[in-house]
Structure 1
Amino acid sequence: MPSSSSSRRFLSLWFPRLGAERLLRRTGGDPARPFAVIETAGPAQRLHSLSAGATAAGLVRGQPLRDALAMCPELTTRLRNPQAEAAFLAVLRRWAGKYSPWVGTSGEEGLSLDITGCAHLFGGEEGLLAAIDGDCAGARLSLRAGVADTPGAAWGLARFAGQDAGHHRSGDAVDQEARATRSRAAKRRHWERGGAAPGARMAGVEAQRIAPPGQTRSAIAGLPLAALRLDGESLAQLSRLGLRRVSDLIDQPRAPLARRFGPQVVLRIDQALGQVPEPVSPVAEARPFAVRMTLPDPIGLESDMLAGLDRLLPRLCETLERAGRGVRLIRLQAFRTDHTMQWVAAGLARPSADPDRIRPLLAMKIEEIEAGHGIDMLRLEAVQTEPLPARQAVGHLAAGRVIADRLADTTAHDDLVARIGARVGMEAITRWHPASSNIPEKTALTLAAAWSEPASDWPAPPAPRPLLLWRPEPVTAPGASPPPGRFRWRGRDLTLAEAAGPERIAPEWWLDEPDWRSGIRDYWRITTGTGDRLWLFFAHGAALSPGWFCHGQFA
């Protein structure tokens, strides 16, 4: 295989109706009828994937469901199942392996293939595309493909070959006219209004989706800027400046572009032109740890789902134990009769393959599942696993030590962390660990409890530290050391009863800490006449003026 990047060839496959056609294949629906897959976007529902019939009815992707039903009352919809779509794309990725050994994913609806040295096996690149088109037609899948010297250029050709550059939303855009106006305009054949005839246009698209070797720049020059894989905000800003085609941007100086629109715009241009390498990384086949159970009749009661969990969980734990793995994150999926799915997940503080430790966590979450018209399949999957420590056989002399170790085991503490984490989230449970710093604010590190061990070697501070610590608060008091007999703090006039100190702490000179710009601090343990035990310090002043501050309070 040639090593020069200019001799490499890449193929991008885009399945624009992946979500809709996946369900139509499963249900045997007619793609000519209006059908759409919807997803929830905040408080509203929008169209995510459309059938050919829905597109012919004038519906567009991203359109609010309420508007779509007003335009097309006969539209039928289904909720989106992202995981099922990802699994379907994985099936297509394995199918694409017949055309190239290097197949990777490109977004949620596309594949990227490195076809260097493969096209001649199918009669050239045109023959390769013809074979792929034939496979997809037989599978009732819509496909758009592009071939170029770089993955970015192939991606743009697959999605935008033959399309005109769009305009920024300004009130003059044709696609913002009233629907009745668009309907009347559509009655006139577009080639009678100056456009190309249908046959000529389709032939042009067929020719444009293959960029000849070494002609990437000219092949993508006429494409819309969206062909560079830019984000929506950057596209809107560039469109306001009148830059709508790739040719308007690729010849611009790089430095001003990076300063105004960020480095991502420059990176996408260089990737499309091959000036920045972008290899295709095949997706490693992961070994799934999952079990499932198909039910003869739909269920909907919580007790029935718990009974199904009791049958699935031991089987999964046996498989994990044989592999020497333990669960860190487990997911229970409930597939409904209307081809939708809902799942609940639970995390563990320590990896485990013990069903008795995992079941209570999932049982807490089952009540969140809505059965709808009924659940006909349950699937249990170990999403994240970790190796379990190897077990060694011991004799009778070591049995006593093993029992003692079990008594000191921390499984109860780990289970408590897991149960609390199932309610509030594992990331919300933290613990403190000692840090190597004399700065009061930095003496402890906050770590996630599920991914850290309890601290056992806390160093003794040179002087007692307060139970409560807050950001330094100003104290109205005259003079410096020693502490004044009377001072004002939080609107209260306090008198000094006892003082111990000072303890001098210097700032870390290699770091710029805004709270330590007042310089060296002398800390005092103060007891007031009212019984308050405060931690006061006098800042000697560096970049800021000197003065007294209160930093904490003892128990």
Structure 2
Amino acid sequence: MPNRRILSLWFPRLGAERVQRAHRLAGDEPLAVVDERANSQSVSSVNGAALAAGVRVGQPVRDAHAICAHLRTKARNTPAEAAFLAALRRWAGKFSPWVADERPDGLVIDLTGCAHLFGGEAELLAVVEADCADLGLTVQAGIADTLGAAWALARFAGQGAVSDRSGDAIDQEARATRARAGKRRHWTKGGAAPQLVATPGGATARIAAPGQTYGALAPLPVAALRLEGDVVAQLGRLGLRRIGDLLGQPRAALARRYGRGLVDRLDQAMGQAPEPVSPARLPDLFAARMSFPEPIGLLDDMLAAVDRILPRLCARLAEKGRGARTLRIEAFRTDQRAEVVVVGLARPSHDPDRIRPLIEMKLDQIDAGFGLDLLRIEAVQTEPIHDRAVVGHLGAGQAVRDRLAANTELDDLIARLGARVGLEAITRRHPGAGHIPEKAAQVLAAAWSDPARDWPAPRNPRPLLLWRPEVVQAPDFPALPQEFRWRGRAWAVRGAQGPERIAPEWWLDDPEWRSGVRDYWVVTTDRGDRLWLFYGHGAEMSSGWFCQGSFA
């Protein structure tokens, strides 16, 4: 069996070059992609012009503008970068079927048995460099026997270990540590030195020959082992700045002082611990389209096209056991414009008879202009649907009850209303998990929740209307007053039921319940109103009477 060979591709300017491609910006214009974290903005990616001007990744935006006054900045779009990396993963499938992405800016390719199809590894890297140059991308590549070694060569090839201290760093290192580290050159321990390959674009890629992983990794800095920054700093203070220095140290001492992660990374890079390349599975695409020999613009013609392509889409969904939750209808006009409408369903479905009325309600929003050349329907959000078993006579009654419990008519009604006012505007109430009145019920979106079946019955009645506690002018005493003022009016008590004591949730700091324990009363006034009053005993706030609700 041939030796395992791994290719690692690193796109150091992926974010900036993606923006440059999307907005068709000039390559000589300095560009930086800005990422905002914890109310601070920093540079996450730069193009070649900004890098030449002195802008670096990780700099605050204000410092970057001070260095390069004419720097152009764009906000970072993480989902768009992930989608762009997925597109590059599909491109890399031309070299090998085993391709995985290393987010946010890298790819890993298992080249075992594939490099000879391109004339060898050096020729394959030349093809990679040429393709990336055509795409306007900067790439650095490394090939080795292990994933960790290829990753290190792609990012740190040609870089020496430097000290982060001022002054004579050699004199400041621990002498005992240096004495234990290997003193011979790395290629005397593992054979020939690794090969440097110059690609047509001018970049240099490092190829470690089979079995020469030690010699390729020994001169690289310890950061090439994918270690945390604090671990790299601690190793540097001890004088262990190259991977070769770590390979000469006792493994037990390294694991005891820096944790098992350091030893695991060493084993993965040297091939002593498995690290497979798991190719990412391409997501299922559920879409159907129809092109027209002549432009169409009438609603009946669009419905006829929907009747042709919707059954095909639903058949593909049913084959995968999926149901459409959100549909996207794209109508491409003759003037190169596209009209897009979105249809949402209250429940996932692959039934054309249930989906077609919803699409029909949305088609009148499409402006056909001078005509449509193509109509496309895509299920952008799907959910699994489980098949139903066929039952006999004994289970017919239960099957009917299950079908009624599914309440498909209500789902269709919610979907039709949601097509007009939006699914998020239709809500339903569910019982809550708290014992305090405000948390007795929770509001959920009707399209993404099931009807509540068993509501817990409270031991005491609850008001129909509930609001935030409002101050009641009454004597500050726990006994229920016979008269009080509320909302600018005088009220007289004709009947009362209570008290019901409700304590706050002591494990939560709720600002509404800082009044402490409450004694609730159902009060009937002289005007016939039934109010819900309580007396707060004032644990952290002043005590007093409040009104919180009204009964029917």
- In the TM superposition, what is the alpha-carbon distance from 1:349 to its structure 2 partner? 1.6
After TM superposition, the structure 1 stretch with the greater mean CA deviation from structure 2, 406-415 or 439-448, is: 406-415
Percent identity, please: 53
User: In 2, are the aligned partners of 1:113 and 1:280 still within 8 Å (CA)?
Assistant: yes
* Long gaps (5+) in structure 1: 2-6, 22-35, 39-46, 63-81, 162-201, 221-246, 254-269
Which one of the candidate residues 503, 510, 514 is aligned to 1:517?
514
Of 440, 446, 457 in structure 1, the residue corresponding to residue 437 of structure 2 is: 440
Question: Which residue in 2 is equivalent to 1:144?
Answer: 138
Residue identity opposite 2:331 in structure 1: A
Deviation at 1:521, TM superposition (A): 0.9
TM-score by length of 2: 0.61
Partner AA of 1:535 in structure 2: W
Q: Which moved more, 1:527-536 or 1:517-526?
A: 527-536
Question: 1:204 and 1:403, CA in 2 relative to 1: closer, same or farther beyond 3 A?
Answer: closer
Tell me the secondary structure at the aligned position of residue 131 of structure 1.
helix
Q: Partner amino acid for 1:318?
A: A
- Match for 2:89 among 78, 86, 93? 93
Alignment partners' CA distance in 1, 2:79 and 2:291: 18
Tell me how far apart the structure 1 counterparts of residues 530 and 416 of structure 2 sit (CA, whole Å): 38
Q: Which structure 2 residues correspond to residues 418-497 of structure 1 after superposition, within 5 A?
A: 418-497=415-494
Aligned residues: 423
Residue 358 of structure 1, CA deviation: 0.8
Aligned residue identity for 1:132 = V
Inter-partner Cα distance in structure 2 for 1:8 and 1:461 = 65
Shift in Å, 1:441: 1.3
Indicate if the aligned counterparts of 1:11 and 1:154 stay in contact, CA closer than 8 A. no
User: In the TM superposition, what are the counterparts of 1:111-510 in structure 2 within 5 Å?
Assistant: 112-114=107-109, 126-135=122-131, 141-147=135-141, 206-207=203-204, 213=217, 282-337=279-334, 341-372=338-369, 374-395=371-392, 402=399, 406=403, 410-510=407-507
| Matching residue's letter, 2:511 | P
Match of 1:129, as an amino acid?
Answer: L
Give the structure 2 partner of residue 241 of structure 1. none
Q: Supply the distance in 2 between the matched residues of 1:216 and 1:287 (Cα, whole angstroms).
A: 41
Aligned-partner Cα distance in 2 for 1:302–1:19: 43
> In 2, Cα distance between the equivalents of 1:525 and 1:219?
69
Q: Is the 8 A contact 1:15 1:142 kept in 2?
A: no
**Cα deviation 1:428-478 (Å, max 9, x = unaligned):** 432222134321111123333222211111111111101111221221210
Retained in 1: the 8 A contact 2:129–2:200? Answer: no
Structure 1 distance, partners of 2:364, 2:95, is: 46
Q: Calculate the aligned-residue CA RMSD, in Å.
A: 5.1
TM-score normalised by L of structure 1:
0.61
Listed one character per residue, the Cα deviations across residues 85-107 of structure 1 (whole Å, up to 9, x for unaligned) are 99997665334124345434578
How far apart, CA to CA, are the structure 2 residues paired with 1:84 and 1:518? 49
Give the secondary structure class of the aligned counterpart of 1:544: coil
Q: Distance in 2 between matches of 1:480 and 1:440?
A: 23
Residue aligning to 1:12: 10
Whether the aligned pair in 2 keeps the contact of 1:524 and 1:535 (CA below 8 Å) is yes
Q: Which residue of 1 aligns with 2:99?
A: 103
Task: Identify the residue that residue 74 of structure 2 maps to in structure 1.
Answer: none
- Report the secondary structure of 1:384's partner residue: strand
* 1:471-509 alpha-carbon deviations (Å, 9 max, x no partner): 212212104233112212222222222211111112222
Kindly indicate whether the alpha-carbon contact (under 8 Å) linking 1:112 and 1:151 is maintained by their aligned counterparts in 2: no
Greater shift, 425-434 or 477-486, is seen at 425-434
CA separation of 1:17 and 1:388: change in aligned 2, threshold 3 A: closer
Contact 2:429–2:443 (Cα < 8 Å) also in 1: yes
